[in-house]
Structures are given as C-alpha cells and as structure tokens.
Amino acid sequence: MPGVTVIEKGTFNGVTTDFDGNFTLTVSDENAVLVFSYIGFVTQEVPASSDSIIVNLASGSDELEEIVVTGYGTQRKATITGAVAAIKGEDIIKSPAVNLTNTLSGRLPGLVVIQGSGEPGGDGATINIRGINTLGNSSPLVVIDGIPDRDGGIGRLNPQDVESISVLKDASSAIYGARAANGVILVTTKRGESGAPKLEYSFNSGWTAPTVLPEMSSSYEYANIMNELAIYNTIPVNEWGSALSGIKGAGIYNSPTEGITSLNALYSPTAVAGYLSGNDPWNYPNTDWYGETFKNYAPQQNHNLSLSGGSENVRYFTSLGYIHQDAIYENSATFYDQYSLRMNIDADVNEYIKMNTGILTRREDRNFPTVGAGAIFRMLQRGRPTENARWPSGEPGPDIENGENPVTITGQETGYRKNPKDFIQINGGINITNPWIEGLELIVNGAVDVNRETSKTWQTPWKLYAWDGVNQSSAGLSANVRSPFTDPRLTESSNSVLNTNLTGQLKYNITFGENHDFELFAGVTKEKFSGSDFFAFRRNYISPAIDQLFAGGADDQNTGGSAYERTRLGYYGSLKYNFKDTYLVEFLFRRDGSYIFPEVGRYGNFPGILAGWNISNESWFNVQDISFLKLRASYGELGSDQVFYNGQLQEYAFLSTFGFGQYPINSNVVNTLYETVLPNPEFTWEVARNTNFGLDAKLFNKLNLTLEYFSNKRDQILIQKQGSTPASSGIGSLLPPENFGSMTNAGFEFNLAYDGGDSNYSDPGAFRYTIGLNGGYSKNAIEFIDEVSGAPDWQLQEGKPLGAYLLYESDGVWYDEAEIAANTLDYSQVTNQLRPGDLKLVDYDKNGKIDGDDMVRQEDSFTPRLQYGITLDMSYKNFDLSVLFQGSQGGLTTLFNGEFGDWGNYYKYQHDNRWSIENPSRVHPRLASRGDTWYTGGGYGNNTYNYGSTDYLRLKNIELGYNLPQEFLGQGFISNFRLYASGLNLLTFTEFGMTDPEVADRTYPLQKVWNLGLRINF
C-alpha cells in the first residue's frame, strides 16, 4: 500500500511507503518501534528490525492515531499539544449543502457557524472560532494548501476536493502571527496516490425549499385587526366596546364625544364577509404572497468527475466539478452555476527532491434580478392579504410600492444582474531533504492567485396590471409601466485581484541521546495583495434592445474606481521537543510586518508555547479502562492586523488624509474634500493572549474524549475615545481609532465519540456505529471601550458581551382600565395616556417613573453562546447511515420588523395572540400599525417583548447510503457503485416559528434540501 506513514516512535524520523508499499527507514537503535499510520486505518506499532517487516493495516477509526494537519505541517493526534479540531472530507460530502461553510456546523466543536441567508450564490455562513473575541473583526484566518487568506475563501471550494479541514483554536495558531488571533482554519485538498488510475463520478440531485416561512395573517384576520386599530386610535377607551360592536355590525360608530363624530369601518362588514368567504377573489382576495411568488421546490445539481493515481514518481489528482442551484421563485432570475477544475500534481525528482503543484480554476456565476433579495423579502412580508399578488386571471397584480410586486421582480422582466467571478489559483513548491546534513529539509513555495469579478446590471422598466374594478377577467386589466424609472439603464463594474505569496522554510530533525527528539523549523513568507476596480453607469437608453454601454444616453453618466496595495512580511519558526511520546513541548514564534501600520512599530512578535503530557505512557500508569490519557496546556500571544473599527478596515490611519465627496453647488455636482479622521501615529496591532487547557482520553477502548477550556484576552482593540470627547469639540466624528479597547472571552469545548458495534474491524459487513457529541461554549465580555460616563451601571457595555442589547424590560400588559386606574408608576415620559393593551415596563431603578434610565443592558446578543452537534454513524452490510443534529443556545434576536399594519401584513402569531377588545391578554400587547404605539416604535420599542431567543435544534444532515454488492458489479469496470439519499436542515425545532432562527426576517430563507445521489468508482 503506498503512502503509509512510517515513523520511529517518539521521534520525527519517518518516511512514507512507495508505490509498491515498500519503505526503508534508518532508526536510532535496535529497540525502536515503528508506527505505521494511514488515514482511515488503525495505526499499528511494530518493533523495528533489520529484516523486512510485513505489516497489514486494518481499516478502522482509531482517532488518536490519525494524522492531523497543523500549522505548516502535520502531527499525529497523539502528539498534538494544541486545541485542534478536524474533519475529514468524507464527512463533508455527506452534506448536500452547496456552500462548504454550511457543512461545518455541528461537526467541529468551538466553531460558531451562522448562515445568514439561503440565496443561491449568497448562502455562505459566517464562521467564528470560539465565538467573538474582539470588537473589530472576529473572522478566522483561512489557509488553503498552505497559502493564507486565499482569495475566494473556503465557501466555494468543491467539497469533493477536500481531504481534510483542521481548526487551530489556541496558541497552536501563533505560527500564523499577525492574522492568527481569531484562530486558523486549514484546508487541505486531495492529492494523488501512486497506483492505477482511479476514476470517480458522482452525481447529486437535490430539491430545496425554505426551512421556515413566516405564517402570515389571512385577509379576514388582517381586516379585523385594521378595523380594531382604527378604534384604538380615534375613540376614547370607555367607548371601545360599543365602537367595536358598531363597526362589526353596521360598519359605523357614532361617538357621543365632541370632535369625534363618526368612525367608519376601514373594512366594511361586506368586505370582511367577502374575505371570509373567498367567493369574490377580484374584490376580496386572500393572498398568500409567498405562495404566489414561490414554487414548491427549487432544483439543485452537482456533478463531479475526478481522476487520480500516478506512477511511482509522479502522482496526480484532478477533479472537475459543476454545480447548479436554482432559487425558489416561481419565475426565477436568480440562479447559481459553478464550474471548477483542480489539478494537484506531486513529483519526486529524485530521492531527495520533491515538487508539488496545485492549480485551481473556478468560475462562480451568480445571476439575480435587478431588485435585491432584501427588497423582495421585505415586500413579501409587506404584501397585504387583501390585495392581489396576481389577479384571478393570472396576470401580476399591482405593486406594493415603487413597482415592487414580488411576483414580477423576482423574474427577468426587470432586466438582469450577472455577477461572474473567475479564479485562477496556482501554487507550487519544492522540497529538498538531507542536503549536507541528515535531517535538514528546505521547502520553497510560491503562489499566485488571480481573480476577476464583473457585474452587469441591466435595468429595464417593467409593467404591472391595473384592474378597472368592473370587468372580472383579463379584459378588465391594463398593463402600465410601474417600475420607479422609465428609461433602461446599465451599470457595469469590474474588479481584479492579484495576490502573490513567496515562502521559504527550513526544517531540521535531530535526536540527542536516546529519546530527546527535536524538530527545528524556520520560515519566511512575503505576501502582496493588490487590486483595482472601476464602474460605469449610463442611463436614458432609448430602447431596451441594446444592453451595452455605448448605447446609453449622453447625460447623467457616472464612473468611478479605486485601487489598493497590501503587503506583509513574516518570519516564523518553531521548536518541538518530544520525549518518548510522553513529554511534548512546542515553542512557536512569529515576527510579522504589515503595510497597514506606521513604520515605527510596524513589526510585531508573536510567541506561543504548548505542552503535552501523555500520562498513559508513563510506566506507573496502569488503569485498564483508560488506554490513553493526555493533558495539554498552551499559551500564546497572537496578533491581528485586520484592525476594524465600525466594521471598516482602518488602513493608513496613521496618515492625515482627506476623503472625496460630492455636493451640488450652482446646480452642478462638485467634488468636495473633507477631513475623514485625525491621524493616529501610534496605530498598531490587536494582541490576543490566549490560554488553553485540554484533555484527550480513550476510555474502555470505545470512547474518545476531548475536553478544552480556554480563556482569551484581547487588547489593543481599536476604539474611539468617544467617552471623553464632547461633540462640541467638532472632532467627535473624526476621532482616530486607537488601540485602547479590550475584551475577554472564555469557554469550553467537548467532543465525545463512542465507537460501538462489532469490534471485528476486518469484517466490512459487521454492524458498527459511532455516536458523537460535540459542542463549544463561549462567553465574551467587553472590558474597556471608553464608555461615556454618567449612564447607570446597568446600561454599560463594559462587562457585557459585544452586541448585548440595551432594552426596556417588559412585564406583561395592562389588561384593562381597572388595572391602569390602580397604577402608581409615572408613565408621563412614555405616553400621555396609558390604555388597555399597552405594554407594562419595569421600573428598573425603582424611582417611581418609567424613563430612559430603566433600559437595561441584557446578557444576550445575537451570537449564540453554545453550539453543539450530535452525530450518529452506522453501517451494516452494504448500508450506512449518518445523522447529524445541530443546535444553538443563547442568541437573542428581534422578532418583529415593524413593517406591519397599514403597510404590511402581520404574522399569524401576532394576530392569534394580540390583546383585543373581545379577547384581552395579559401577555401580548395591542397591535400597532407601523410602530404607532409607543412600545413598538421609537426608544420604548426597544423592549424585551420585541425580542426572542434564537435557540434551535435541527436535523442538520442525514445520509442513507447503499453500496451495490460486489457480485452485481462483477470483476472489472466498476469497482464500487454507491447510491444514497441525503438531506440538509430537514427539521428545525425552535421557540418562535416566524422565521428561521439563523436568519433575520426579510432575508432569503435558509433552505432544506432533499437529495439523491450516486457515486461510481471505476
């Protein structure tokens, strides 16, 4: 078997087996033990001998002996000293998710994965390692095949090309220095193995549908709500009951009060009855806007063809991928296509010189309508059920506003937006071993990444149908231009990126005495990222026939463009010490220079120290049920040159520069120059001090266990000294971001895997199962951000998590007038008159009145504190089943967007629970129309009633597979034929069912996917 790693136990001395499975290794002494390891097989230890050894590896899953990719190298799990979580490619491809980021949640403890949107082409998740560590940018560094911060990131990698993904969570990432503060995600792609060519074809066909769609009120329910609201807003409280009877009965209420003569029902009794019966859909529709706009399922497909193999000296892996993903719109202008080609080639020039090359080309083809998903989903919720999305004769109904009728603006009638991105990424390297000195290795790598993105938005006026109100057929409809513009217009933009990376590294292994093994490693990396962009806009096209820039009108053109150049230089090294696999110590160091900082203090130093103790290797340790026990500890000082303030990377903050603006003077647009920010000559890094304690164990030979505890401190975060700068100084908005902020983050992770079933690994058909439970908990707290003094303690951000909400606390609802009459709290700063159905607020400071001081900083933010996964993998005969449940706890989000009432529909939840004259509530308040009650709009709208938990548990992933028995396949052409059915996000359990808990409302919803697939190996 080729490619098996053979290492002398307790050393870094090792080789890999050749094409025929042969190897030669010179060991330090005759008592040496050789460790044979290969991914997916049980590692074996065999005493070394000068004669030939024949070793038979059994497939299995001995987690402890797996090889894991770590910073600039690989390590056996048994000798790892840092907090490292890893996932293998075979687990990734169980998920039918198109975007790789969405396959990671629930699989890697400590990784916080939140998918904000399900829109094809825009469905990548936000990933944070151990939650939020900074006020600035919490994104981890992604390293793909050794190249950091590779353009295009991780999301669009073809899952089929991924060999493994490792996550460095603690000081183990210190070797990446200035970009390691938020942890590092290492992606390794597949490489060829010597042997006969292996051809693999896989095909997936999926059907997607939203996980959760808001359930909205019917037209009958909506009309009733709106009739009630008119009473609340115009009629004195003591007449509400009789007003409701009047409105429901005769459709009019005559008030005895002066100044209020009569109130007419907004929706007359005839109309309300019409909505209820549904007999007259032209006049009294009951429109399901989502239903009218969406189809039941949107298709997605994925084809992948890969070829790998090689001779003894040259190995190759090539893969061709195609993905197609459609949107859920009935008449969809949105779709995503991706084409990718990867070629990884390794060549052994001779015994000592090896070369490797990786080439990736990828096209990401995004297509959208000209109206963004934000507007579409806003309009879907705003669509009132009392209006027709489509006329009963089939034509699109009127717009909701600005020409926006979702039935139409999701399609091609509005023009198009094409947004293709092309990536070419090439990396190559040479390794030379044992030049003069035994154990010395030189590695030189280079990478060039090129990306060009263009965008073309062609907006054409569109028509909608107006009804004459009389003729209930197509004949009564007329088409009118209803787009908010009448001339076609074109915007084109282009940006290109060129990133280069040049790396040189030296590695040296040496053993002193019998068991003192050292590995010395030193490297230098030089990076340059450059890019430029421009755009052009023309309008007043006389016809929608020509969608090219040259054909636009002469007036009102607009162009623009910009560029950047970003460089970094890093020196790094490590020293690893291993004593008999029992005592493990690792020093990491990096010195980084970044263009972003002023020359003085441009370089930062980032050390890390890690230590491990394999207790189970001690001779005195003799616990039968504990076959492995390791304690680990690490501390590192890591940095971040991704210094963000207010969501913006602060480049050149040490220079005094003016920004460009525009303003009309004398009816012309002139350029303006303005101060953007005062310079900060001491501008520098964020510094992370991260501590980690870990424990790895194997119990009863069945249970693998990893526990981690971490405590992170981040200093020198950019803040503005807002707290001490009055606005009257005029520099309140020009304050330079300065490195004074600090934050802490602490938590734990757990990972348990129970390996059950038949322990006969040599029988592939035996019943086997693995149950896993993993999760990560993190809680951050702001330590210093220069808060304005004077606010009450309970409102401070300091001491609370980043993004913790500042809210009034609600405490039920004023049930009736009697309850209000008994009220002693002063609400005069809130409202001139409390009325039944108003929210009750808590007088937090107990000063007898509700005022601004009663807002309370909550413990929760949108970011959950705990994310976890439960996995079950089973196999029996030719069947296998894999299940992943994934959950999240501790996030808080706003429940209602405020766009309901006269300009939008209500959730059915709001209708069903509301305080009403006939059915008063002590929990849920009277509804508002577009924020017109004090507890829905304005400052007092920020209250706990309007917020809810995002906790959820979902069936994230399930796959049932069947491998055709060998007897069907016969001898030869097809070596394996696998059929499988899989699903993504099939079930979601959550407290509030209005929207998917991961996404804000008015966003393209997350999708569930039912998938059928097959994989054929030739």
Partner 1 sequence: MINFKIMMTKTKIFSSLLALFIVFTACNDDFLDTQPLDKVGSNATWGDETLSEAFVFSVYSYLGYGGYEEQMLAVLTDEALFTHSGRGINTFNEGNETPQNLAWQSGTYNWATMYSAIRQANVALAQLPEATFDNQGMKDQLMGEAHFLRAYYYQQLMRFYGGVPLIDSPYTLADDLAIARSTFAQTVDFIVADLDKAATLLSGKAMDDGRASRLAAMALKARVLTYAASDLHESSKAPSGYGTDLHAYSGGQPARWQAAQQAAKAVLDVTSGYKTDLSAPVSHSEGMANAVAISMGGGSAVADAAAKSELIFTRTMSSKYTPEDNWPMGGTHFGVNNGPNGWHNWSGNPPTQQMVDDYELMDGSKFDWNNPTHKADPYANRDPRFHNHVLFDGAKWKPRPSDVIGMDPNSEYQSGKYDDGSGEYLAGLDTRQGPIENWNGSRTGYNLSKWIDPDPSLKENLTSHQLIPWPFIRYAEVVLNYVEASINLGQEAEARNWMNKTRFRVGMPAVTETGADLLNKYINERRIELAFEEHRYHDARRWLIAPGTLGRGVERIDITANVKSGKSPQVPYRYDKTTYDYTYEVQNETTVENRTWKDKMYYRPISRDEMNKNDLLVQNPGYE
Residues of this chain, 516-545, that bind partner 1 according to CB under 8 A = 524, 526, 528, 532
Q: Does 480 bind partner 1 (CB under 8 A)?
A: yes
Q: Does 432 bind partner 1 (CB under 8 A)?
A: yes
Q: Which two tokens stand for residue 546?
A: 């020509």
Touching partner 1, residues 324-353 (CB under 8 A):
349-353
First to last CA, the chain: 19
Q: Which two tokens stand for residue 25?
A: 């290794």
Site string for partner 1, 568-587 (x = CB under 8 A): xx-x----------------
Q: Which is nearer to partner 1, 187 or 380 (CB)?
A: 380
Q: Which two tokens stand for residue 146?
A: 């050794």
Q: Does 311 bind partner 1 (CB under 8 A)?
A: no
Touching partner 1, residues 232-271 (CB under 8 A):
233-234, 259-261, 264, 266, 268
Return the closest-CA partner of residue 72 out of 198, 172, 214: 172
Residue 653 contacts residue 680 (beta carbons within 8 Å): yes
Q: Does 279 bind partner 1 (CB under 8 A)?
A: no
Contacting residue, 20, 565, 618, 811, with partner 1 by CB under 8 A: 565
Touching partner 1, residues 28-57 (CB under 8 A):
none
Report the nearest approach of partner 1 to the CB of residue 206 (Å): 38
Report the nearest approach of partner 1 to the CB of residue 499 (Å): 14
Beta strand 184-189 with 141-144 is parallel
Binding region for partner 1 (CB under 8 A) out of 755-763, 859-867, 935-943, 1009-1017: 935-943
Contacting residue, 932, 960, 1017, 1018, with partner 1 by CB under 8 A: 932
- The DSSP string of 19-74 is TTS------SSTT-EEEEE-TTB--EEEE--SS-------B---GGG-EEEETTEE
- Tell me the C-alpha distance between 170 and 610, whole Å: 9
- Tell me the C-alpha distance between 394 and 392, whole Å: 5
Binding region for partner 1 (CB under 8 A) out of 102-110, 130-138, 196-204, 477-485: 477-485
Report the nearest approach of partner 1 to the CB of residue 862 (Å): 22
Q: Does 936 bind partner 1 (CB under 8 A)?
A: yes
341 CB-side CA count, 13 A:
5
Give how many residues touch partner 1 by CB under 8 A. 123
Report the nearest approach of partner 1 to the CB of residue 391 (Å): 13
- Tell me the C-alpha distance between 303 and 341, whole Å: 12
Contacting residue, 468, 826, 912, 918, with partner 1 by CB under 8 A: 468
Q: How many C-beta neighbours within 10 Å does residue 217 have? A: 22
Q: Which is nearer to partner 1, 352 or 767 (CB)?
A: 352
Report the nearest approach of partner 1 to the CB of residue 237 (Å): 12
Report the nearest approach of partner 1 to the CB of residue 546 (Å): 20
Q: Does 678 bind partner 1 (CB under 8 A)?
A: yes
Strands in 349-484 per DSSP E: 353-368, 415-433, 440-459, 463-467, 477-481
Residue 66 contacts residue 77 (beta carbons within 8 Å): yes
Q: Does 296 bind partner 1 (CB under 8 A)?
A: no
Alpha helices, H only, 65-128: 89-92
Contacting residue, 756, 764, 848, 938, with partner 1 by CB under 8 A: 938
Binding region for partner 1 (CB under 8 A) out of 170-178, 217-225, 475-483, 615-623: 475-483
Return the closest-CA partner of residue 956 out of 94, 323, 164: 94
Site string for partner 1, 771-810 (x = CB under 8 A): -----------------xxxx-------------------
Site string for partner 1, 380-399 (x = CB under 8 A): ------------------x-
From the CA atom positions of the chain, what is the Rg in Å?
Answer: 32
Contacting residue, 455, 472, 567, 711, with partner 1 by CB under 8 A: 567
Q: Which is nearer to partner 1, 431 or 988 (CB)?
A: 431
Q: C-alpha 526: how far from its chain's center? A: 29
Report the nearest approach of partner 1 to the CB of residue 232 (Å): 9
Give me the helix-helix angle, 240-249 and 269-277, nearest 10°: 70
Report the nearest approach of partner 1 to the CB of residue 561 (Å): 9
Q: Does 478 bind partner 1 (CB under 8 A)?
A: yes
Q: Which two tokens stand for residue 615?
A: 């207790």
- The residue written with tokens 């000592």 in the block is 352
Q: Does 556 bind partner 1 (CB under 8 A)?
A: yes
- The residue written with tokens 């009450």 in the block is 792
Q: Does 197 bind partner 1 (CB under 8 A)?
A: no
Cα separation values, 231 from 832, 941, 1010, Å: 18, 22, 48
- Tell me the C-alpha distance between 594 and 522, whole Å: 19
Q: Which is nearer to partner 1, 2 or 904 (CB)?
A: 904
Contacting residue, 502, 626, 781, 796, with partner 1 by CB under 8 A: 502
Q: Which is nearer to partner 1, 847 or 966 (CB)?
A: 847
Residue 705 contacts residue 695 (beta carbons within 8 Å): yes
Binding region for partner 1 (CB under 8 A) out of 273-281, 318-326, 559-567, 812-820: 559-567
Binding region for partner 1 (CB under 8 A) out of 134-142, 192-200, 493-501, 552-560: 552-560
Touching partner 1, residues 723-752 (CB under 8 A):
723-736
H-helix or E-strand containing 379? helix 373-382
Report the nearest approach of partner 1 to the CB of residue 545 (Å): 20
- The DSSP string of 859-879 is S-BSS-SEEEEEEEEEEETTE
Q: Which two tokens stand for residue 805?
A: 């909400």
Residue 55 contacts residue 44 (beta carbons within 8 Å): yes
Q: Does 902 bind partner 1 (CB under 8 A)?
A: yes
Q: Does 600 bind partner 1 (CB under 8 A)?
A: no
DSSP state of 995: S
Residue 43 contacts residue 653 (beta carbons within 8 Å): no
Q: Which residues pair with 608 in a beta bridge?
A: 588, 636
Q: Which is nearer to partner 1, 522 or 974 (CB)?
A: 522
Q: Does 756 bind partner 1 (CB under 8 A)?
A: no
SS (H, E, C) 726-762: CHHHCCCCCCCCEEEEEEEEEEEEEEEEEEEECCCCC
Contacting residue, 435, 756, 799, 848, with partner 1 by CB under 8 A: 435
Q: Does 486 bind partner 1 (CB under 8 A)?
A: yes
Q: Which is nearer to partner 1, 14 or 504 (CB)?
A: 504
Q: Does 475 bind partner 1 (CB under 8 A)?
A: no
Total residue count of the chain as it appears in this document: 1018
Q: Does 312 bind partner 1 (CB under 8 A)?
A: no
Residue 7 contacts residue 13 (beta carbons within 8 Å): yes
Q: Which is nearer to partner 1, 74 or 402 (CB)?
A: 402
Contacting residue, 56, 662, 919, 971, with partner 1 by CB under 8 A: 662
Give me the helix-helix angle, 219-234 and 240-249, nearest 10°: 140
Beta strand 583-594 with 558-579 is antiparallel
258 CB-side CA count, 13 A:
0
Report the nearest approach of partner 1 to the CB of residue 853 (Å): 7
Contacting residue, 516, 835, 930, 978, with partner 1 by CB under 8 A: 930
Touching partner 1, residues 689-708 (CB under 8 A):
none
Site string for partner 1, 607-646 (x = CB under 8 A): ----------------------------------------
Q: Does 824 bind partner 1 (CB under 8 A)?
A: no
Contacting residue, 312, 675, 826, 918, with partner 1 by CB under 8 A: 675
